[in-house]
Structure formats: structure tokens, C-alpha cells
Structure 1
Amino acid sequence: MNKKILVTVLLFAVFFLIGCDTFIISPFIPLISKTLNVAAGTSGYLVTAYSLFYVLVSIFMGPLSDMIGRKKMILVGMAVFALASIATGLTSVFAITLVARALTGAGAAFAAPNVWSYIGDYFSDAERSKVTAVIASALSLGMIIGVPAGSALAQFMSWQQAFYVLGSIAIVVVVLILAFLPMSGSAVNKQNYFISFKKVFLQRNIVFSFLTTFFVAFANFGLYTFLGYWLNKTFKLNTSMSGLFLIIAGVGNLIGMQLAGVLSNKVGKKKFVSISTLIMVASLFILSFSSFNIILAGIDVFVWLAAGGASFAIMQVIVTQLSSSSRGTVMSLNNSFMWAGTASGSAIVGITINGLTFFVSTLICSVAALSASLIIRIFVVETNEIISNQNDGN
């Protein structure tokens, strides 16, 4: 097999497993609540623990990646991810399960940002958009394929079995990465740990790129968290029917990411993100007006998630080009901004959707998407950094 294809497959596998784990917990909440004898709201802390540790770990692990290299970070992250996933289903004590989920988030935080950094190190500028789109689509496939498969396994066996399978596959991926993934970006930056952060935040271009990522995540995932709630309230869809509807979102996200890899090279990455976020603005704004027809709602959700997926994928490409010497730090911080945007969007939409109206929630997310479009258009300068490939390893 061609070495670049093999590298892409391995990195894809990492993100597919993380995507499955990220989305699979939501449909399991009622089952986990019953098994561990806690309230459904309390079970929601499993998601909080995962997200919190992802943000915290990804912030502080960036400089370490620049010092020891991407492959080692991915290996450690996936090993922790695999063991923590298995541990999630091993106990009937909620507190221990909570710790297991926190460790799963920490493992994902080690691995995921370094996948983007690895792409920046290993692939040429001309290849990055397409490779990034392929890798990013693994998250969508985790939602389209992994979550239904895991839900079926949970229904016919137990939710614990789903985590055992997920962790076992992750162990196999760890072995394959150890054996076949070339070293890349190893020890590219030996400078002081804290100087790495200072160097990053003193660069205006990088900071505004982080803010773009924050607002894209806010608009995209903030409202998506409550899409199932809106479907139930507006169209009276039950859980299974809402799940089928959400496949539309996953497919739209997947198609958007794939088109992004081709179109962004033609129109320019910065311009592409600016346009795709404007499409998000329009589709988010009109979503509440489609409540009279589920077909129109489905079309609008498809367009929204396609534009959101395209924006997300190309922002990863733009950020990887901002700094070769501190790429691990930059990508880790970018992921932290992404998860911070997701958490902020979910929290604010959660407040407005209960106390005000769904229209107000869509309006807030539209403003967030517009902010992303304006920031990248006005303040971000697209770079065309040429980084030599390390295809032969080191």
C-alpha cells in the first residue's frame, strides 16, 4: 500500500474511534442512569467530564508535542483512550465511571490535535486540504455508522459491551500505529515550555484564527446539541425517529467536508471559510421558520451541517499552516478553542431555548457564524507555508 494512503487510513481510524466515542454517549444516558442508579441529569456529567478534561489537557499538551513528536503523542493518547473506554463499562460505581470518561477525554486530547499536526508535518500544502477533509469526515462517519451500531449493540446486549468493543478496536489501532505510522515532526521545538505559549499568543494571525474556530464551533455544535429536542417539540418525533432524522445532519456534514477539500483549493481557503460560514448564517437563521414542514427542515439542516463541516475542515488546514515550529501547541490550543466554543454554545442555547424561544437560539448562533465570517475575512492572513515532507520517516 502507498505510504501516504496508509498514513491517511491510520489517522482516519483514530478520528473515527474518537467520533464514535464523542457521539455515542448521548443515546446511552437513559441506560446508564438506570444501570448506575443515578438521575438522567447526573449522567450528563459524563459528557461534562469528557469535555472538561479534553479542554484542559489539550491546552497544556501542545508544547510537549513540539518537543517529543506527534507519533508518540498519538500513541499515548490512543492507549489511554482504549483503556479508559474499556474501564467505562467495567464498574457499577458512577464516580469511577466518571473518572473513566474524564480519562477518555484526556486520551482523545492527546491524540486528536496531534493528528492535525501530523498532517501539517507530513503532507505538502497542496495535499493538506484533501487529506484534512478525509480525516475530518471520520467524525461524521462516527455519527452515521458508529452511533447506530453502538446503539444496536446496547439494545441487544448492554451499553457496556459497546465500550468494550470500542476500546478493543482502539487497542488494535495502537498496535498498527506503533508498527506502521512513520515518525513525523519529532522534536521540532526544544524551546522552554511556557515560551511556546507566549510565542503563539503574540501572533495576531493565530489568535484571530482561534477566535474563528471558537465561533464556528459555537454556531455549529451549540444548536446541534438541542436539535433532537426541537424535532420532538416541533414535529413530535420520538427518539428513534429523531435519530434517523439526524443521519441527514451527519450526511450533510460528511459531504460538506469532502467538497471542502476540493473547492477550497480553487477559491482559496480563507475565502472558502468566509463563504461557508455565511451559508451557516442563512441556514441557521431560517431554521425556526421551517417548523411548518419537516422536509424543508431536513433540507435546511443538511445545508447548515454541510457548511459547518466544510468550515471546520478548512479551518484545520489554515491553522496547521500558521506555525511549523510550534504546530503542536497551535493545534492543541485550536482544539481547546473549538471545545470551548462547543461548551459555550451549548450552555447559552440551553438557557435561551428554555427561557425564550428557539428563534432566539438560532439568531444567537447566526450571529456567532457571522462573527466567524467577519473575523477570518478581515483579520486572518492566509499563509502558504511550504514544509518539506518527511515521507521517509526519521
Structure 2
Amino acid sequence: MPALKLVVAWVTLFVVGTDLFVVSPMLELWSREFDIAVGTAGLAVTSFSVAYVLVAPFLGRWADRAGRRRALLMALAAFAAANSLTALTVHPAMLIGARVLAGMSAAGITPTVFALVGAAAKPSRRAWALGIATSGLLSALWLGAPAGELLARSVGWRAVFAGLAAVALVIAVVNRWCWERDPASAAVGTAERATVRTKLAAVLPTTIWAAAVYGVYTYLASGLHESENWTSQAVSGGLAAFGVCAVISSVAGGRVADARNPLVVITAGLAATGAVLVLLGVLAGGAKPAVIGALGLFALAAYLVFPAQQAQLLHEHPKEGSSLLAWNQSAMYVGIAAGSALGGLVVSHWGFRVLPFLAGATAIIGALVAQRVHRPTSRGATVES
């Protein structure tokens, strides 16, 4: 796969990820400016996620039929409009509406970029290329969002979203030039099209993975703060270690999936995630170096899974690549929401230290589910796009 295409895909997903993750540090600023509770401002996050989950499967199917480059360019234009509206917001209702549009446009961008990368990469390097692209999203978590927060506190939060809108337009031009025009394809025949039940089964491992990983990650900072020897700087260091290891694992996971086969990586990654989460539960409240090491292992194990899962889906459903990857993205958001909600109940009733054990068991169940719903692939399996 040409390096330039991979760079463009990485930057595109980095910008989308920054738009998603930068909202969290903005909640306090929105709360003060619009005189609303932080929880009310948090509806901006909820509305984005709900819009993404509901719209992504439909946009993915449309991208497969109308042409992926065309779908990507239209979604990027909508993304720029959404961020412009966010920057111009004068009322909380307008803010929520802008974030709904942002979620819908992101649902058109992310899976389409993954599908374009999967189609452009050689079969023997497909999972690696998907891992590189995924690292763009993950890098936004530890690089894009903090940079956005610093910018917001120095020149104002509106400048952040105006900047994202401008960058989105530039990226749209670059993507138009970078990707070859793909003609609209005929509708996939009924006999060839995966049923809704088949799609739900195929992406179920993603939901379980996301619930296990983000159920813990959501409460990680507060859980570490429960120990008296954890300062804010130490917590930040632990989260940074997690983020860096997640990026490394995403790339490495793709390479391993290409060398072996995706299903092996999915299963081993979920099982290893379960084991490391149990270890984290044992070490929680202990020595900081041991806990930080466990956090690094947690990220290294967990983020092996996602690029391998994408490659597996493209192998099983080559004619519906955008559609299945869109379903996969929605499945991830459902898992994040479920994991966060259930994790909150666990923390409220039994405390953080119980949470890694339950999440670890969930990840191991995910490994068993993956073995059940996926079929083995040969090394370097070809995906026709």
C-alpha cells in the first residue's frame, strides 16, 4: 500500500478522533458559558455516540453501493459543517444538534477510511495497514485531545472547533486527490448479502472487547486516585503509558495478524486481556511501578484485537466491507456505553478493585465467542474489494 495513502488515512482518523476526545475537557467550559450542569453538557458526548451507533450501519451500506471515495468526501464536508456549527453555538440545544451532526458524519468517515485502507493494502499486509490507521484514532486520545484542551484554555474553545472544521476541508481535498474514484457498485444480491443476524454475530466480539476494555478505562483515573500514594502526576503517567502502549499494540497486532491469521490474534488478544485485567485487580492499590507495568500490559494485550477483528470481517464479507466495518464501529460504541454503565454500577457498589476481575472474565468470554462466530482464515487471506 502506498505510504502516502496510509498517512492520509492516519491524519483523517486523527482529526476525527480529536473531535471526539477533545469534548471531554470542554464540558467544564461549556457548563460555565451556557450556565448548565456538567451532566447536561455531557449530553454532547451522548448525542454524538447515539447518532454514530444508529447511522453508521446505513452509511456503510450506502458507501459500498455509491462509492467509498464519494461517501468519504460527503462525510468530511458534513464533519466540517458540524464543527463550524459547534464553534458558532449560542445555545445548548444548538450545541447538541451540532454534535449529533458530528456523530453522523464521523459514522460516515471512520469505517469508510478503514474500508479504503483494507482495499488498497496487499492481502499479506492488510491487518498491519488497518492497525496503522487505527493508531491515528488512538493517538488523538493522548495527543490531539490534550493539545485541544491547551488551545481552548489559551484562545478559547470555539477556536478549537473552527480549526477542526478548517482542517477537515483541507483533508477532504487531500482525500479526493489521494484515493482513486471507485464506481458505484451494483447492490449485493440477496443470496450474497449478510443478514442482520450474521452481522450482529460477526461484530459481537467487538462489543464484548469494548465493554471489557472501556468498562475499566473509564474509571481508571478515579480508581487509581483511591490509593493515597497516587498523585495526579502519577495517574497521568499511568494513563500516558496506557495510551502509548495502545498505539504500539495496534500496529503490532496488525502485523501479527498478517503473519498468523486474524482469528488467532483476536482470540489470544482477548484471552490475554482477561488475564492481565485479573493481574491488574490483584495489583490495584499496590506499588506504582507494578500497577503502571500492568496498565502497559493491559493496553498491549487489548489493542491487538481491533485491527485483527477488522481484517477478519473484511475476509468474511469482502463485498460488504464498508457495511461490516460500520457495524463494527457501532458495536464498539455500544460496548463502550455498556461497559461504562455497568462499570459505574460495580464501582458504586463494590469499589474499583472488583471491576478488573469482572472485566477480565468478560474478555475471556469474548475469546470464546470469537471462536464460535468467526471462521478460521489462512495466512494472508485475500479480500476482494
Give the distance between the partners of 1:121 and 1:67, measured in 2 at CA: 15
Query: Does the alignment pair 1:325 with 2:323?
Result: no
Could you tell me which runs of 5 or more consecutive residues in structure 1 were left unpaired when the two chains were aligned.
390-394
Match of 1:81 in 2: 79
1:99 partner SS: helix
Give the distance between the partners of 1:289 and 1:237, measured in 2 at CA: 17
1:321 partner SS: helix
Could you tell me which runs of 5 or more consecutive residues in structure 2 were left unpaired when the two chains were aligned.
none
The Cα of 1:84 is off from its aligned counterpart by 0.9
Match of 1:337 in 2: 331
2:185 partner SS: coil
The Cα of 1:64 is off from its aligned counterpart by 0.8
- Does structure 1 retain, via aligned residues, the 8 Å contact 2:123–2:382? yes
What is the aligned counterpart of 2:225 among 226, 229, 232? 232
**Alpha carbons of 1:383 and 1:288: their partners in 2 closer, same or farther (altered >3 Å)?**
closer
Match of 2:151 in 1: 153
- Does structure 2 retain, via aligned residues, the 8 Å contact 1:280–1:307? yes
What is the aligned counterpart of 1:46 among 44, 47, 50? 44
- Does structure 2 retain, via aligned residues, the 8 Å contact 1:283–1:303? yes
Letter in 2 for 1:247: A
Letter in 2 for 1:364: L
Bigger mean CA offset, 111-120 vs 354-363? 354-363
Show CA shifts across 1:271-302 (max 9, x none).
Answer: 11211111110121222332122222211111
Query: Does the alignment pair 1:62 with 2:60?
Result: yes
Show CA shifts across 1:82-112 (max 9, x none).
Answer: 2212221212311101111111111100111
2:194 partner SS: helix
- Does structure 2 retain, via aligned residues, the 8 Å contact 1:49–1:105? yes
Query: Does the alignment pair 1:134 with 2:132?
Result: yes
Query: Does the alignment pair 1:268 with 2:270?
Result: no
Give the distance between the partners of 2:224 and 2:192, measured in 1 at CA: 43
The Cα of 1:245 is off from its aligned counterpart by 3.2
The Cα of 1:348 is off from its aligned counterpart by 0.8
The Cα of 1:164 is off from its aligned counterpart by 1.6
Bigger mean CA offset, 113-122 vs 272-281? 113-122
- Does structure 2 retain, via aligned residues, the 8 Å contact 1:15–1:135? yes
Query: Does the alignment pair 1:245 with 2:238?
Result: yes
Show CA shifts across 1:117-146 (max 9, x none).
Answer: 222322231120111111011112111211
**Alpha carbons of 1:39 and 1:237: their partners in 2 closer, same or farther (altered >3 Å)?**
farther
Match of 1:188 in 2: 185
- Does structure 1 retain, via aligned residues, the 8 Å contact 2:138–2:243? yes
**Alpha carbons of 1:189 and 1:308: their partners in 2 closer, same or farther (altered >3 Å)?**
farther
Give the distance between the partners of 2:366 and 2:8, measured in 1 at CA: 31
**Alpha carbons of 1:202 and 1:38: their partners in 2 closer, same or farther (altered >3 Å)?**
closer
**Alpha carbons of 1:237 and 1:26: their partners in 2 closer, same or farther (altered >3 Å)?**
farther
Match of 1:168 in 2: 166
Match of 2:94 in 1: 96
Matches within 5 A, 1:301-320: 301-320=295-314
Letter in 2 for 1:75: L
Match of 2:371 in 1: 377
Bigger mean CA offset, 44-53 vs 292-301? 292-301
**Alpha carbons of 1:338 and 1:4: their partners in 2 closer, same or farther (altered >3 Å)?**
same
Show CA shifts across 1:218-237 (max 9, x none).
Answer: 11122211112212223575
Give the TM-score normalised by structure 2: 0.92
Letter in 1 for 2:195: V
Give the distance between the partners of 2:175 and 2:233, measured in 1 at CA: 36
- Does structure 1 retain, via aligned residues, the 8 Å contact 2:80–2:165? yes
Give the distance between the partners of 2:57 and 2:257, measured in 1 at CA: 28
**Alpha carbons of 1:240 and 1:43: their partners in 2 closer, same or farther (altered >3 Å)?**
farther
The Cα of 1:248 is off from its aligned counterpart by 1.2
- Does structure 2 retain, via aligned residues, the 8 Å contact 1:200–1:330? no
Give the distance between the partners of 1:147 and 1:19, measured in 2 at CA: 8
Give the distance between the partners of 2:335 and 2:193, measured in 1 at CA: 22
Query: Does the alignment pair 1:4 with 2:29?
Result: no
Letter in 1 for 2:291: A
- Does structure 1 retain, via aligned residues, the 8 Å contact 2:248–2:300? yes
**Alpha carbons of 1:164 and 1:222: their partners in 2 closer, same or farther (altered >3 Å)?**
same
Match of 1:144 in 2: 142
Show CA shifts across 1:339-384 (max 9, x none).
Answer: 1111111111112111222133222211221111112234411335
**Alpha carbons of 1:172 and 1:144: their partners in 2 closer, same or farther (altered >3 Å)?**
same
Match of 1:392 in 2: none
The Cα of 1:268 is off from its aligned counterpart by 2.2
User: Alignment length, in residue pairs?
Assistant: 382
Bigger mean CA offset, 304-313 vs 131-140? 304-313
**Alpha carbons of 1:240 and 1:101: their partners in 2 closer, same or farther (altered >3 Å)?**
farther
The Cα of 1:207 is off from its aligned counterpart by 4.2
**Alpha carbons of 1:196 and 1:215: their partners in 2 closer, same or farther (altered >3 Å)?**
farther
Letter in 2 for 1:257: S
Bigger mean CA offset, 305-314 vs 95-104? 305-314
Letter in 1 for 2:184: A
Show CA shifts across 1:314-348 (max 9, x none).
Answer: 11111121112222221211211111111111111
What is the aligned counterpart of 1:200 among 185, 195, 202? 195
Give the TM-score normalised by structure 1: 0.90
1:381 partner SS: coil
Taking only aligned residues, the RMSD between alpha carbons, in angstroms, comes to: 2.2
